């Protein structure tokens, strides 16, 4: 087990906005949703009133609420992570009995975090800090509200299954939300890294989730698996990858590990550690809508243009051809002097 990093040596982020760590595709999708004034109140009315109180009561009755006298080490980590992110209110944390290794965040008005005993047993303190930081990222970004919408839509699919058109439309919406949901996990992995500020602790977490029982996995070989997965040469494998991820709420763990390790080496991450990051006081619901949507589009374009996946490359090549043809047509029919 790796020793803890001293709390005094960790950087704190006064007033940090979730925009600092949110993945561009996650941020772009949320910006569009938040720009519609009626969305949040309706979702809160439908989802929050009926589920949050019941789920909280269930945890109180069946799990251990972390505090100074119950899992005191986890309580210390919980409070330190909240201090790192400069949170006025520290989310409640519950430990529930399960052999599986997982954690999740529930609730809208007062979100709370649940972590399994399997995670507590499996992970060292710094990896647990990464996990708790990841879940606090969900809290800060307000992901629970939109995840609730996704759960409601999935529940409704059974009602629409007998109507072909309704089922297809619902599946399209769910698929789009699933894609966004997977991007939220990449966002919150970044939040977890900002909480622990130790890329190796984050990597140990991903190794454990993939199957490492403690020092039995070679890191270079593990990350090579991500490269192998990303660079398949047969389009049949590309289609299988789509099928593997269609119904998943999280990206595949090897892919998550590689994605976060790449981000930990960026100038963006280093700038946040030196105090250059967006502040909550500057956040406005719609002020950055255009920039966020453009950033999301750039993110998808870059991932396609750099991908070695044959299906993604084919889609990208077709898109470039269509855009080129459209540009040529526009140049012929547009009025003289019209700007692009």
Would 314 be classed as within a structural domain?
Answer: no
- Is the model's pLDDT at 205 over the cut of 80? yes
Distance of CA 244 to the CA centre of its chain: 18
| Predicted confidence (pLDDT) per residue in 63-109, tens digit | 999 999 999 999 999 999 999 999 999 999 999 999 999 999 988 77
Number of domains observed in the structure of the chain: 1
Would 334 be classed as within a structural domain?
Answer: no
Contacts of 281 (CB under 8 A, 6+ apart): 15
Would 70 be classed as within a structural domain?
Answer: yes
Would 68 be classed as within a structural domain?
Answer: yes
pLDDT of residue 71: 97
Would 284 be classed as within a structural domain?
Answer: yes
Would 20 be classed as within a structural domain?
Answer: yes
| Predicted confidence (pLDDT) per residue in 241-255, tens digit | 555 565 666 677 888
Top-confidence residue, 253 or 114:
114
Expressed as residue numbers, the domain containing 264 is 7-305
- Is the model's pLDDT at 333 over the cut of 80? no
Q: What integer is the mean pLDDT of 257-284?
A: 93
What is the pTM for the complete model shown? 0.75
Would 170 be classed as within a structural domain?
Answer: yes
């Amino acid at each position: 087990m790796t020793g803890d990093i001293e709390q005094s040596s960790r950087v704190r982020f006064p007033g940090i906005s979730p925009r600092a760590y949110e993945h561009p595709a996650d941020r772009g999708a949320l910006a569009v949703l938040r720009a519609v004034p009626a969305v949040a109140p309706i979702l809160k009315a439908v989802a929050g009133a009926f589920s949050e109180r019941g789920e909280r009561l269930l945890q109180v009755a069946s799990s251990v609420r972390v505090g100074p006298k119950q899992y005191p080490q986890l309580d210390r980590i919980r409070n330190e992570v909240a201090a790192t992110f400069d949170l006025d209110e520290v989310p409640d944390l519950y430990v529930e009995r399960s052999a599986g290794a997982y954690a999740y965040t529930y609730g809208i008005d007062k979100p709370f975090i649940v972590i399994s005993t399997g995670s507590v047993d499996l992970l060292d303190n710094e990896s647990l800090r990464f996990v708790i930081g990841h879940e606090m990222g969900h809290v800060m970004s307000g992901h629970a509200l939109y995840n609730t919408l996704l759960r409601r839509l999935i529940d409704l699919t059974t009602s629409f299954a007998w109507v072909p058109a309704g089922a297809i439309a619902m599946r399209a919406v769910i698929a789009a939300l699933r894609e966004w949901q997977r991007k939220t996990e990449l966002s919150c992995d970044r939040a977890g890294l900002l909480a622990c500020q130790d890329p190796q602790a984050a990597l140990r977490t991903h190794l454990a989730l993939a199957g490492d029982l403690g020092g039995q996995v070679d890191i270079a070989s593990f990350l090579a698996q991500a490269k192998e997965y990303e660079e398949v040469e047969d389009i049949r494998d590309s289609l299988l990858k789509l099928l593997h991820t269609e119904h998943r709420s999280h990206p595949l763990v090897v892919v998550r590990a590689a994605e976060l390790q790449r981000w930990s080496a960026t100038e963006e991450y280093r700038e946040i550690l030196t105090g250059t990051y967006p502040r909550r006081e500057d956040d406005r619901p719609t002020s950055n809508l255009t920039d966020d949507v453009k950033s999301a589009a750039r993110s998808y374009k870059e991932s396609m243009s750099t991908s070695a996946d044959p299906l993604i490359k084919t889609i990208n090549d077709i898109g470039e051809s269509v855009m080129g043809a459209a540009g040529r047509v526009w140049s012929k029919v547009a009025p003289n002097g019209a700007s692009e």
